[in-house]
Structure 1
Amino acid sequence: MSDAGAAVRISVIGPFKVTAPCGADITPTGAKNQALLAILALTPGMSRPRRWLEDKLWSTFGPEQASANLRQALSKLRALSPDLAAALNGGRIALSLDPQLVAVQDIAAPGLPHDDRELLEGLDVRDPEFEDWLRAERARLRDAIEAARPREARGVIIECRTDVHGTDQNAIIGEILANQIGQTVADNVRAWRRSGQINGATQRQEGDLQISCDLMENNGKPNIFIKIVHIPTGQILYSKLQALEHASDVLNSAVPISAIVFEAADRVIGKLPLIVENARPEARATALARLALYRMFSFEAESLREADSLLSQAYDVDRNGVYLGWRSLVRMIQLIELLEDNPQALREEAAWLSQRAIEDSFDNSLVQALVAQVLVMELGDPVGGIEMARLSVEQNPANGFGWTAMAMSHMRAGDAALAIKYSTQARQIARFSPFRQWWEVNHCVVNIACNQPAEAIAAGEAAARAAPSLRPAHRHLLALYAMDGQMDKALATAQKLTKIEPGFTLDRFINDETYPVRTLRTKGLLEPIRALL
């Protein structure tokens, strides 16, 4: 309510107590009078049917006597205080407390002495129905307190295993692949990998996920079967049977294998918040971060601010450096898109967040990839970006973000051949990602910078299909269509931008030096658009 000082205050932790707005104690005498107020106070909406209340407080009486007892209790409560009388509403069907006139103690508020006090302590109504209700409410209170209690993130426990089908080499290859998937999951959420084998009678904590990768021969060709299971429920989170050209593709981290690893890990990460107990910090942080990614990869100003807030909350819940790395990428996008008023402040924050992310999680391949991209695109350090991106892909060759960072680093360093090679590899690895527009729009920019307009158009169109309101994709397509003489498509794209980008005009696109088309302007690709003016 808006003014707790003008309310009747009801305390339910420890002994039941009712206080008038002036501070006077107006706690009713009589256990059932207290219980009647307590039930209403603890009910969502503060309203219960009369017959329900009669059944909870006078279950051993006949209907007429129970109804008379309820009326008598109401009269006594209203006589205690004009403030309580005003707050207690009695209709023919239901009784209620006015939420605008009553303030009920928050039973899950942090800092209250819950551990040594009980809900409605000492209240003895001596009615079996009320006692059942009270036991249920006390259990709910314990659950609420436990859910609100800060916990240390212990990490998702991942068991990586394989079964032998054929040669010993197949067993080793299956175990390598299972560990690659486990590592990619652990790059995104606090997690620990362990062997699926148990030696002796050692007791250990039950795992959360089991990743099994089994290789077998079929008509002389190796096949791999991947299955990821939530151990407590047995729920299958991901499964795939994939034919390989050569078993050594796993050892060499061939692109098709890296794509499977990236896809499997991404599917599991998306489902983790739904299957892991929400009270665990790593589950809550993963849910916040996943939602943030959907907001971030829209490239919309307000969505980017919301993404930053969600990632900040994720870091507060589970102090994992990956959330700082994502926040630095948010700053990079805001800088590129010119969405905020103080670019220097954003650049300083990007640098600070990148440094903190590396300090917190230096050995995290995803953190290395995110920081590498920020170093290259906004902090003016392509050499540092290449070094950091190389660390990322050496540690985890299935990291699609790492290969994009490699591509952008080599693009800025002027090595067109490697930039296109790494960008092509990145988009192949991440082709099943729900955020694939990220790889497509980066591939479009790389091909523009490397004078490959046909490939740039294909990538830009793929990005627009994946995210129809993605403004960077449409901006690049506008210039590419005009350069290619496809004026009808260029005009349609300009009209699309008018709808999805506030303040868009062709004149601003061409003549405003601050407009976010740096690569197009550098390559001289804006002039053909003048034909549309």
Structure 2
Amino acid sequence: MQNYPNNKKLKLRLFGTFSAEWSGGSKLDIRSTKLRALMALLATAPNMKRTRSWLQDKLWSLSGQELGRASLRRGLSDLKRAIGSDFELLFDISHDDVALNSDVIEFVGAPSEGEFLEGINIPETGFTNWINDQRLKPPQLSSELEYFMPSESSGILPAVAVLPFLQSFNLEGDNILGDMLAEEVSRALSKSQLIDVISHLSSRNLNMRLLNLADVRRALNVEYVIHGSYRQDGERFHLDADFLDAESGRIIWSRQFSARMSDFLNGGQEIVADISRQIGQSILSTSIELATSKPLPEVASHALLVSGVSLMHRLKLASFARARPLIEEIIRKSPKHASLYAWLGKWYVLSVQQGWSHDIEKDCQIASDCTARALDLDPENSFSLAVDGLVQNNLLKEFNTALQRFDRAVDLNPNDALAWLLKGTLHAFVDEGEKAVSYTERARILSPLDPYKYYFESLSATALIANKQFAEGLLLVESSLRENKSHTSSLRAKIVALQGLGRNQEANDTAIKLLNLEPNLTITGYLEKHPAAGFKTGQEWAYALKEAGIPET
């Protein structure tokens, strides 16, 4: 999908009377009630994308399948005529899906200004159910912490049980390999800040006694279970694994994994990493589906948190904006969990760093308030300490306080990957590149699963570049950008690495991409905000950005 010029936005008003107006002042003349509803259905979707069949069900189900499909095509044609030449840039249409370009959509208005899609009522059951849900719990546009209301505390992370894998055709025999594999997968998953893993001993003791999935769920109180069997084939073994929703019994996926026996027994972790990664990705996608398919109060806490963190780290503005209400809702449900306030604080840090904050001073204060509240609730929470260190370092430039937070976090939890990562980044900023590389490499060894692998790679690249290891840093930052091309910090790091390698034209091209995402970026502004500005490293990076074409003022 192409991008609009940065100064052109379509302002959508969904509270009160619907309106769609370009930032220049011209309004879209959309007279059809169903086409207004179509725009709203897309604008409120995850990534602003819906399938054609979903849209037909909501707006044209009474017409039947064939006529519904034709009505949707005709509706899109009518929109194309009304919008004109901008249609191709505003919409992305495929055989199966219809999407809006989230980069150019800007929401205006608030619930206080009127009912959600006031006056739009369509006699289709699907749409009626959807609009009633939206009006019952309209999208939240404010984020003042004082509105958080206490509620019953509950588990805030999705719980997973990894049952020992059984040997095919020998279910009562020796399963040492399957037991070892399950234990390693459990250890890998436990490194994530977003997953609770039932201890291997608990899962192991239940496996041979409880054959019923409902019994496993009741005994372990888990949302997800992975189990399966393996067979040996000479020097290799093949694992057939099923990943299940423990409540419904639904098989989320059923896949085969293979490895050399000697590689696994000698410490090779490729198969473990592959299984763990696919579990993590499935939990993320399932959580987003749960969190966006029903009113927030009805969504389980673990789905709210995982989907909120996932959307936050996508760093596309539409997804990022949707993350905050999810995290705020789980705080309302569980107001005494320290880590939740830390996640909200991190949202504000990313907002400032991405250039999306409309009031930097206010958002810096909110971020600081969030992490302060987290530490008030639990002063020994390593994750909260790490995020407060991030606030102190990146927003407040209180380097000594930040270092104290990181040091305390890794003292409390030597396996806290985020604390090691941010500690390394601080050393990169203050001209201590060798330490920075050491700490960020350790963080990557301990690094959690998606959604923020790109974040670890980006900051690790920053450490390498600070240590003048430009080629190694470039490889990492390019890997990071493949995962998240909108991360402006990664683009800045890439420019510095390319300049350090003498690849000036590529640096210039990257600077153009960076300015498309951050059009107000200047060297003066960069030096005012960046924590490394007062050190040699920051001055060198600023010079590299200037040489690549970032304007002085």
1:178 & 1:483 partners in 2: Cα distance? Answer: 40
Tell me, yes or no, if the aligned pair for 1:483 and 1:525 is still in contact at 8 Å: no
The residue that corresponds to 1:514 in the other structure is 528
SS across alignment from 1:233: coil
> In the alignment, residue 506 of structure 2 is paired with which amino acid?
K
Tell me, yes or no, if the aligned pair for 1:222 and 1:246 is still in contact at 8 Å: no
1:179 shift after superposition: 3.2
Tell me, yes or no, if the aligned pair for 1:358 and 1:367 is still in contact at 8 Å: yes
Deviations for 1:180-225, whole angstroms, at most 9, x for unmatched residues? Answer: 356457x426786653644699974675321337676554467766
1:154 & 1:293 partners in 2: Cα distance? Answer: 16
Percent of aligned pairs sharing the same letter: 13
SS across alignment from 2:267: helix
State how 1:276-295 maps to structure 2 within 5 Å.
283-295=299-311
1:515 & 1:339 partners in 2: Cα distance? Answer: 14
CA distance 1:405–1:226, change in 2 (3 Å): farther
Task: Identify the range of structure 1 (153-162 vs 320-329) with the bigger mean alpha-carbon deviation.
Answer: 153-162
Q: Which fold has the larger relative contact order, with Cα–Cα distance below 8 Å and residues 6 or more apart in sequence?
A: 2
Tell me, yes or no, if the aligned pair for 1:337 and 1:516 is still in contact at 8 Å: no
> In the alignment, residue 297 of structure 1 is paired with which amino acid?
H
SS across alignment from 2:540: coil
The residue that corresponds to 2:164 in the other structure is 162
> In the alignment, residue 228 of structure 1 is paired with which amino acid?
F
1:447 shift after superposition: 1.5
Task: Identify the range of structure 1 (210-219 vs 197-206) with the bigger mean alpha-carbon deviation.
Answer: 197-206
State how 1:218-367 maps to structure 2 within 5 Å.
218-220=233-235, 227-231=242-246, 232-237=248-253, 239=255, 241-243=257-259, 245-247=263-265, 249=267, 257=272, 260-272=275-287, 274=289, 283-299=299-315, 306-319=322-335, 320-337=337-354, 340=357, 345-357=362-374
The residue that corresponds to 1:388 in the other structure is 409
SS across alignment from 2:541: coil
CA distance 1:409–1:238, change in 2 (3 Å): farther
Deviations for 1:117-143, whole angstroms, at most 9, x for unmatched residues? Answer: xxxxxxxxxxxxxxxxxxxxxxxxxxx
Deviations for 1:135-184, whole angstroms, at most 9, x for unmatched residues? Answer: xxxxxxxxxxxxxxx87646655433214547565355234235335645
1:385 shift after superposition: 0.5
CA distance 1:432–1:295, change in 2 (3 Å): closer
State how 1:15-26 maps to structure 2 within 5 Å.
none
2:539 & 2:468 partners in 1: Cα distance? Answer: 8
What is the aligned-residue RMSD (CA, Å)?
A: 5.0
The residue that corresponds to 2:30 in the other structure is none
1:409 & 1:263 partners in 2: Cα distance? Answer: 32
CA distance 1:158–1:512, change in 2 (3 Å): closer
Tell me, yes or no, if the aligned pair for 2:385 and 2:409 is still in contact at 8 Å: yes
Tell me, yes or no, if the aligned pair for 1:281 and 1:318 is still in contact at 8 Å: no
Tell me, yes or no, if the aligned pair for 1:390 and 1:406 is still in contact at 8 Å: no
Tell me, yes or no, if the aligned pair for 1:372 and 1:389 is still in contact at 8 Å: no
1:407 shift after superposition: 3.4
Tell me, yes or no, if the aligned pair for 2:338 and 2:378 is still in contact at 8 Å: yes
1:177 equivalent among 184, 192, 208:
184
> In the alignment, residue 188 of structure 1 is paired with which amino acid?
L
CA distance 1:485–1:274, change in 2 (3 Å): closer
SS across alignment from 1:249: coil
1:409 & 1:511 partners in 2: Cα distance? Answer: 20
Tell me, yes or no, if the aligned pair for 2:228 and 2:241 is still in contact at 8 Å: yes
2:295 & 2:160 partners in 1: Cα distance? Answer: 19
2:178 & 2:339 partners in 1: Cα distance? Answer: 32
The residue that corresponds to 2:226 in the other structure is 211
2:194 equivalent among 169, 188, 194:
188
The residue that corresponds to 2:503 in the other structure is 486
SS across alignment from 2:370: helix
> In the alignment, residue 224 of structure 2 is paired with which amino acid?
L
> In the alignment, residue 226 of structure 2 is paired with which amino acid?
I
2:412 & 2:233 partners in 1: Cα distance? Answer: 37
1:216 & 1:302 partners in 2: Cα distance? Answer: 46
2:160 & 2:504 partners in 1: Cα distance? Answer: 54
Deviations for 1:427-467, whole angstroms, at most 9, x for unmatched residues? Answer: 57769835443223212211222221222222333333333
Tell me, yes or no, if the aligned pair for 1:178 and 1:211 is still in contact at 8 Å: no
1:487 & 1:458 partners in 2: Cα distance? Answer: 17
The residue that corresponds to 1:457 in the other structure is 474
Runs of at least 5 residues in structure 1 that lack an aligned partner in the other structure:
3-43, 49-93, 110-149
2:265 & 2:228 partners in 1: Cα distance? Answer: 13
Tell me, yes or no, if the aligned pair for 2:386 and 2:418 is still in contact at 8 Å: yes
CA distance 1:486–1:393, change in 2 (3 Å): same
CA distance 1:470–1:526, change in 2 (3 Å): same
2:267 & 2:281 partners in 1: Cα distance? Answer: 21
Tell me, yes or no, if the aligned pair for 1:449 and 1:523 is still in contact at 8 Å: no
Deviations for 1:343-380, whole angstroms, at most 9, x for unmatched residues? Answer: 55544433442344356578877656545544554553
Deviations for 1:326-350, whole angstroms, at most 9, x for unmatched residues? Answer: 1121233345456547655544433
SS across alignment from 1:524: helix
Tell me, yes or no, if the aligned pair for 1:386 and 1:409 is still in contact at 8 Å: no
Deviations for 1:295-339, whole angstroms, at most 9, x for unmatched residues? Answer: 533556786555333321232234444432211212333454565
1:473 & 1:288 partners in 2: Cα distance? Answer: 27
1:305 & 1:261 partners in 2: Cα distance? Answer: 28
CA distance 1:173–1:522, change in 2 (3 Å): same
1:235 shift after superposition: 0.8
2:316 & 2:280 partners in 1: Cα distance? Answer: 27
1:230 & 1:223 partners in 2: Cα distance? Answer: 23
1:289 shift after superposition: 3.8
1:249 & 1:363 partners in 2: Cα distance? Answer: 33
Deviations for 1:258-296, whole angstroms, at most 9, x for unmatched residues? Answer: 575355234323324547996897944444444534553
Q: Pick the structure with greater CA Rg.
A: 1
CA distance 1:517–1:473, change in 2 (3 Å): farther
Runs of at least 5 residues in structure 2 that lack an aligned partner in the other structure:
1-14, 17-57, 63-122, 138-150, 168-172
Tell me, yes or no, if the aligned pair for 1:161 and 1:196 is still in contact at 8 Å: yes
Tell me, yes or no, if the aligned pair for 2:181 and 2:272 is still in contact at 8 Å: no
